[in-house]
Amino acid sequence: MDSSQFFGISSIAYILAMVTYIAYLVFRNSTVGLVATTITTVGFVAQTLAFFMRGKEFYDLAQLGSILRAIPLTNLYESLVFFVWCIILGYLLIEWKYKNRSFGAFITPIAGMVLAFIDISGMDKNIHPLIPALQSNWLLAHVTMSFLAYAAFAISFATAVMFLAVSSEDEKSWPYITWTVTLGVFIAVLVAMGIDFLVFKVGAHSTESLVKSHLFKASFRNGAMPVALFSYLALAGFIFAVWKYGKVLKRIIESFEISQDMLDELVYKSIAVGFPVFTLGGLIFGAIWADQAWGKYWSWDPKETWSLITWFVYAFFLHARFLKGWRGNKIAAVSVLGFVSTIFTYLGVNLLLSGLHSYGGG
C-alpha cells in the first residue's frame, strides 16, 4: 500500500465521522459518540501513517541525504492535507480534555470538505523534488510549526464565531452582524474558489500564475459583466440570508450544550498555544532560515510583513485580555480579525502578492 491509499482511508473516515457526530447530536447516544470518536481516531492514525509514508516516498525520490528535509509540505496540496491533520489533532485534544463531543459535528465537516475539495478540484498530488531554496533542515521546524499555529488560530476563530452566535440575540447588534457577515463571506468565498477550481481545473496545472489569473474569474472577476454582477448580488443575497436566518444556527449551536464560558476559554487557549508556536516557528525560525538562505533575517517580504501584522493582531488580543480585561464579544471579534489576517498570510500572500515565498501556490 502506498500513501495515497491511506489518505483515501482518512478522507472516508472523516466524512463517516461527520455523519456519526451529527447522528450523535440527534440521538444523544453515548455509543454513537464513542463510534464517532473511534472513526475520527482511525482516520487520524491513517493520515499520520500516510504522512510518514509520503515522507519516505519523497525521501527516496529526492535523495536529499537528510531525513529532516524529507517532509511532504512543499505545495498547496500537501499543505492543505497537513492543515486538516492539525485541525483534527486539535479537535481530538479538545474532545479528550473537555469530554465534550459537540464540536465534532463542526470540525469534521471542515476536514471532510477540504479533502473532498482536493479530490474534486483535481489538484496536483504528485511528489515533486525540492528546489534548492527549500533544501534546509529548517524546513521541518518552520513549516510544521507555522501550520500548527494556523490550525490553532483556526480553532480559535471557529469557537469565536460560535461564541458570538450564542451570545448575541438582537439582529441589529454588532456581535450578531459580525458573526453572520463573517460566516456568510467565508462560505461564499469558499464556494467561489470551489467554482474556480471546478471550472478551470487550475489545480491540475499547479502553477502559481494560473491560480493568480483564475482566482474568482468564474464569479466576481468574470469577464462577462452580467456574471460578475450576478456573483456580487448572490454574495449579498447569501450574506443577507445568513443574517436573516442566523438564529436557526444559533439554536443548533445552543442545543449542543456548549457553554459560553467554555467557548470564551477555548478562544483564548487556542491563541495561547498558537501565539508562542507562531512566534517561535513562524517568525524566529523563519528569520534564522532566511538569514542562511538569503543573507537577510528580515527583508519586509510580503509573507514576512503579513506574518508580522498577524502577530500584532494576536499580541493585541493578549494585551486586551490581560491588561484591559476584555472578555466575551470584544475579544471574540479580535480573534475573528486575527484569523482573517492569518488566512491572508497563508493563502492571500501566495496567490495575490509577489515575493520570495512563492512556493505554496503550486
Partner 1 sequence: MESIEKEKKSVDKVWSFFSSIKLAVVVFTLISLTSIVGTIVEQDAEPEKNIKLLTKFFGSSAPDAFRVLDALGFTNMFHSWWFVTFLFVFAANLIICSLDRLPGILKLVKTPIRPLAASGFSSMQIKRETVIKGKADKVVPLLESAIKSAGYTPAISNEAEGTQLCAEKGRYSRLGVYVTHFSILLIFAGAIIGIFGGFNASLNLLEGTESSVAFGRNGKEIPLGFSIACEDFDVLYYENSDTPKSFRSKLLIFENGKPVKIDGKEVTDIEVNTPLKYKGITFYQSSYGFSPNKDSEFRLGLMSRDGKREDVRIKFGGTFVIPGTNVVGKVLDFSPAIGVDPSGKLYTYAEQMHNPAVLIEFSENGKPKYTQWLLKRFPNTWAVADGVVEFKDLWGAQYTGLQVRKDPGVWVVYLGCLIMAVGLYAAFFMSHSKIWVLVREEKNNTRVFVAATANKNRVSLEGKIDRLMKTVGDKQ
Query: Which residues of the shown chain bind partner 1 in the complex (CB under 8 A)?
Result: 62, 128-129, 131-133, 135-136, 272-273, 275-276, 279-280, 284, 287-288, 291-298, 300, 302, 305-306, 308-309, 312-313, 315-316, 319, 323-324, 349, 353-355
Whole-angstrom distance, CA of residue 131 vs CA of residue 161: 39
Rounded (5°) CA angle 269-306-278: 35
Whole-angstrom distance, CA of residue 200 vs CA of residue 359: 21
Cα distances (Å, whole numbers) of residue 227 to 220, 221, 222: 8, 9, 6
With respect to partner 1, which residue has the nearer C-beta, 128 or 247? 128
With respect to partner 1, which residue has the nearer C-beta, 24 or 138? 138
Residue 172: phi, psi to the nearest 5? -100, 0
Q: Which residue is it, cell 456580487?
A: 232
For residue 60, count CB atoms less than 10 angstroms from its CB and return exposed for 0-12, middle for 13-18, buried for 19 or more. Answer: exposed
CB of 279 to partner 1, least distance (A): 6
Nearest-CA neighbor of 156 among 321, 335, 360, 354? 335
CB of 271 to partner 1, least distance (A): 10
CB of 267 to partner 1, least distance (A): 15
Whole-angstrom distance, CA of residue 153 vs CA of residue 184: 19
CB of 317 to partner 1, least distance (A): 11
With respect to partner 1, which residue has the nearer C-beta, 135 or 260? 135
Whole-angstrom distance, CA of residue 106 vs CA of residue 343: 19
- Decide if 35 contacts 122 (C-beta within 8 A): no
With respect to partner 1, which residue has the nearer C-beta, 173 or 299? 299
- Decide if 93 contacts 100 (C-beta within 8 A): no
With respect to partner 1, which residue has the nearer C-beta, 96 or 294? 294
Q: DSSP letter at 347?
A: I
With respect to partner 1, which residue has the nearer C-beta, 181 or 320? 320
User: How far out from the chain centre does Cα 133 lie?
Assistant: 25
- Decide if 144 contacts 73 (C-beta within 8 A): yes
With respect to partner 1, which residue has the nearer C-beta, 5 or 354? 354
CB of 128 to partner 1, least distance (A): 7
CB of 243 to partner 1, least distance (A): 27
With respect to partner 1, which residue has the nearer C-beta, 62 or 113? 62
CB of 42 to partner 1, least distance (A): 29
CB of 45 to partner 1, least distance (A): 27
Whole-angstrom distance, CA of residue 334 vs CA of residue 153: 11
- Decide if 17 contacts 45 (C-beta within 8 A): no
The grid coordinates of residue 207 equal 502553477
With respect to partner 1, which residue has the nearer C-beta, 84 or 152? 152
CB of 39 to partner 1, least distance (A): 28
CB of 307 to partner 1, least distance (A): 10
> In 232-267, which positions are buried (b, 16+ CB within 10 angstroms) versus exposed (e)?
eeebeeebeebbeebbebbeebeebebeeebbbebb
With respect to partner 1, which residue has the nearer C-beta, 249 or 308? 308
